[in-house]
Amino acid sequence: MTNSQKNYNASEELDITPHSTSTRPNLKGDRLNVFLLILLYIMQGIPFGFSISALPIILQSKKVVTYGEQALLSYILWPYSLKLLWAPLVDVHYIQCIGKRKSWLLSVQYLTGVFLLYAANNINDWIPEKGKPNILILTCVFFVLNLLVSTQNIVVDSWALTMLKKANVGFSSVCSSSGFAIGVMLGSVIPVLLTSEDFCNKRLRFTPGMGGIMTLESILFTCGILFILVATLIAIFKKEKDVRSEDNHSQPRVTNSYKLLWDIVKLPNIRVLLIALLTMKVGFSAMRNSLVYLKLVDVGIPKDDIMVLTTAMFAVKIVTPFVVSKYTSGPKPMSVCLKSMPIK
């Protein structure tokens, strides 16, 4: 039998051919799941946006933080780059009575909520109105916070594959891209603009007042309550597919998961993809958002104006995934993938 015949049989067996009506995207029955995924991705983006944009700009505007200290603070984003290292652990270990994905999601969200409440209670001491911010404490706390949120990202990415119908799995990428972009925008813009006295007096208040309409303390407190509330609602109302029959009571070992991950990395096409992903940002290294923003603050451009200008780019990032979803939400990508891979 030729490779093309084998590929055809494989696509037929998996029922993912473009002509299969049962696999055409249809959000009927999945709209609430899509809404939940978007909400979870928004929540993941808020701490990331605060860490990558708002926090460095707020610190730089105080004129007492060096670029060396900003470099130390950048370590808080490392969990997003290294989450592949503990992803197999998340996939293997779970409590069956709670659910394969809910076990981690609920734990991580409650811990994230607690950390945000802790940060809210101490943020005024770490970033005083006058004086030197405590960069070391900020780095440690927000590193742990981003570690938790990046773990949530692993869980939600995995859960999306079983939460949505097979024909709608492609919409998970739309939820991820748009939801995360919304969260990053909220986490970047709100802490800067709503805490700014000048912006609030010019744009949001009828009569001038002291300070912004919110404080960093109130923003972090609100986010902490949001994480805890959403986790509680998921625990009560969201059911997860029972995977015990699929696991056949023989849970895969962690070593097997890492071995499978290594086997995937060794595939020629995956290595090409990794090279592309690892080098695609090199050309933009000098124009990374945080560095450009810090330089603009140094030359005297108000941080409020910087944040207002960036909202246009966020709009593009939010809308674009919905436009391209026409080509990525159905069975077409998988069909093309199968036909391009020689099946032994």
How many other C-beta atoms can be found within 10 angstroms of the C-beta atom of residue 41?
26
Whether 41 and 183 have beta carbons less than 8 Å apart is answered as: yes
pTM for this entry: 0.81
Whether 91 and 257 have beta carbons less than 8 Å apart is answered as: yes
pLDDT of residue 245: 52
Instruction: Give percent of the chain above pLDDT 90.
Output: 33
- DSSP state string for 182-212: HHHHHHHHHHHHTT-HHHIIIII-SS--SS-
What's the rounded Cα separation, in Å, for the pair 204 and 236? 38
Lowest-confidence range among 142-156, 222-236, 304-318? 304-318
Mean pLDDT of the chain: 81
User: Is residue 22 in some structural domain?
Assistant: no
User: Is residue 257 in some structural domain?
Assistant: yes
* Environment class of 66 (CB within 10 Å of its CB; exposed 0-12, middle 13-18, buried 19+): exposed
Highest mean pLDDT among 60-64, 95-99, 181-185, 237-241: 181-185
User: Is residue 25 in some structural domain?
Assistant: no
Whether 11 and 17 have beta carbons less than 8 Å apart is answered as: yes
pLDDT of residue 338: 44
pLDDT of residue 97: 84
User: Is residue 155 in some structural domain?
Assistant: yes
CA nearest neighbour of 65 among 125, 124, 133: 133
pLDDT of residue 9: 43
User: Is residue 103 in some structural domain?
Assistant: yes
Q: Which two tokens stand for residue 283?
A: 């050309």
pLDDT of residue 257: 80
At residue 330 the predicted structure's pLDDT band, cuts being 50, 70 and 90, is low
Please, where are the H alpha helices in 61-134? Answer: 67-73, 78-82, 87-92, 102-126
What's the rounded Cα separation, in Å, for the pair 187 and 52? 9
pLDDT digits (tens, 9 = 90+) for 231-262: 999 999 998 876 555 554 455 577 888 888 88
At residue 155 the predicted structure's pLDDT band, cuts being 50, 70 and 90, is very high
At residue 11 the predicted structure's pLDDT band, cuts being 50, 70 and 90, is very low
Whether the predicted pLDDT of 82 surpasses 70:
yes
pLDDT digits (tens, 9 = 90+) for 318-327: 887 777 766 6
Whether 176 and 329 have beta carbons less than 8 Å apart is answered as: no
How many other C-beta atoms can be found within 10 angstroms of the C-beta atom of residue 62?
15
What's the rounded Cα separation, in Å, for the pair 250 and 149? 29
User: Is residue 76 in some structural domain?
Assistant: yes
Residue 147's domain spans which residues? 48-238+253-276+287-322
Number of structural domains in the chain: 1
pLDDT of residue 298: 83
pLDDT of residue 183: 93
CATH number of domain containing 92:
1.20.1250
Q: Which two tokens stand for residue 278?
A: 């690892």
Lowest-confidence range among 30-34, 133-137, 146-150, 240-244? 240-244
Question: How many residues are listed for the chain in this entry?
Answer: 344
User: Is residue 127 in some structural domain?
Assistant: yes
Highest mean pLDDT among 83-87, 175-179, 231-235: 231-235
**Top-confidence residue, 63 or 50:** 50
At residue 303 the predicted structure's pLDDT band, cuts being 50, 70 and 90, is confident
Highest mean pLDDT among 9-23, 81-95, 145-159: 145-159
First to last CA, the chain: 10
Whether 243 and 98 have beta carbons less than 8 Å apart is answered as: no
User: Is residue 331 in some structural domain?
Assistant: no
Whether 109 and 231 have beta carbons less than 8 Å apart is answered as: yes
